Amino acid sequence: MTLPDPAVLVLEDGTRHTGRAYGARGTTLGEVVFSTGMSGYQETLTDPSYAGQIVLQTAPHIGNTGMNDEDTESRRIWVSGYIVRDPSRVVSNWRANASLDEVLVRDGIVGISGIDTRSITRHIRSAGSMRGGIFSGADAALDADEQLRRVRQAPEMSGQNLSAQVSVDVATVTMALGERIGNLAVLDLGVKQATIDNLAARGFEVHVLPQSASIEDIRAVDPVAVFYSNGPGDPAASGDHVALLRSVLDDGLPFFGICFGNQLLGRALGLGTYKLPFGHRGINQPVLDKSTGKVEITAHNHGFAVEAPLEGSFDSPNGYGKVEVSHIGLNDNVVEGLRALDIPAFSVQYHPEAAAGPHDANYLFDRFRDLVVANVKDAK
Separation between Cα atoms, residue 242 and residue 265, nearest integer Å: 7
Residues 6+ apart with CB under 8 A from 190: 47, 48, 49, 51, 74, 78, 162, 163, 166, 167, 229, 230, 231, 232, 260
Contact 23, 111 (CB under 8 A): yes
Contact 154, 131 (CB under 8 A): yes
Contact 62, 117 (CB under 8 A): no
Separation between Cα atoms, residue 372 and residue 364, nearest integer Å: 12
Separation between Cα atoms, residue 132 and residue 217, nearest integer Å: 39
Contact 169, 175 (CB under 8 A): no
Contact 181, 372 (CB under 8 A): yes
Please confirm, yes or no, whether 259 is among the known catalytic residues. yes
Residue of 31, 259, 300, 336 marked active site: 259
Residue of 123, 207, 327, 351 marked active site: 351
Contact 131, 151 (CB under 8 A): yes
Residue type, 48: P
Residue of 31, 324, 336, 353 marked active site: 353
Separation between Cα atoms, residue 235 and residue 251, nearest integer Å: 22
φ/ψ of residue 190, rounded to 5: 135, 40
What is the DSSP-derived secondary structure letter of residue 85? S
Separation between Cα atoms, residue 66 and residue 62, nearest integer Å: 9
Please confirm, yes or no, whether 123 is among the known catalytic residues. no
- 119 burial (CB, 10 Å; 0-12 / 13-18 / 19+) is exposed
Please confirm, yes or no, whether 351 is among the known catalytic residues. yes
Separation between Cα atoms, residue 130 and residue 272, nearest integer Å: 22
Active site residues: 259, 351, 353
